[in-house]
Amino acid sequence: MKGTVWQPKANFQRLLAKCGPFAWTLHNLVGHPVSEIVWLLSLGRAEHLSNWLHDVTVPLHERGKGRG
């Protein structure tokens, strides 16, 4: 696909938006463990990747709402 830009965060957030109230559940069950495993296996050297994996799974939300 010529001219198409791969945007994993936007694509994943669109997927999460379809999950309704379960979007945060997917973040908690996928984003946290996967990012932690990457961090542990890399002994902290892949912290940037670990943080990115966590952040890409955060559903769209209004900043300042909720606990975080």
Q: pLDDT tens digits for 27-68?
A: 999 999 999 999 999 999 999 999 999 998 888 877 777 665
Burial letters for 16-47: b for 16+ Cβ neighbours within 10 Å, e otherwise? Answer: beeeeeebbeebeeebeeebeebbeeeeeebe
pLDDT at 46: 95
pLDDT at 2: 59
